[in-house]
Amino acid sequence: MSTDIGELLWESVPFARTLGVVFDAVSEGRAVCHVPDREDLHNHVGGPHAGVLFTLAETASGAAVLSVFGDQLARVVPLPTTATIDFRKLATGGIRAEARLLAEREDVLGRLDAGERPVFDVAVDMTDAEGVPVATLSITWTLRPNRP
């Protein structure tokens, strides 16, 4: 499933491909991705730009969402609605993001089936090449019903 989700995201989110996001593992409600160190992605202090960190985290969270709700794409579009990022340490080198869904599939689909537009959170932990924590994100997602 990891390869399929990574390919789907590379096709539907070209910016992830532009940054060179690598999908390391995707399983039920979890995803691990990384971006290799590239000088053209650095900021003014020599580490990956904040936009790179955010995009990597958002991409990992999307993969985690698709691992649970990918079979619902005929009736919904998963969309992030809000995100909070906490920069903890200057990032250097390659960056790794590990995302985990903080909701139960049955609960989210139950709300969707009841006519609600469900919202749920995904937590993302980011580390540098040495495994040092550099940022955490909380991303709220929704499943928007497809328009007829």
Can you tell me the distance from the alpha carbon of 33 to that of 31, in angstroms, rounded to the nearest whole number? 7
Above 90 in pLDDT, residue 6?
no
Which three-class secondary structure state does DSSP give residue 20?
coil
Confidence band for 1, pLDDT divided at 50, 70 and 90: very low
Averaged pLDDT for residues 105-109: 98
* Domains along the sequence of the chain with CATH: 2-145 (3.10.129.10)
Which three-class secondary structure state does DSSP give residue 106?
helix
The helix or strand, by DSSP H or E, that contains position 15, with its residue range, turns out to be helix 14-19
Mean pLDDT of the chain: 93
Confidence band for 9, pLDDT divided at 50, 70 and 90: confident
Above 60 in pLDDT, residue 120?
yes
Averaged pLDDT for residues 26-32: 96
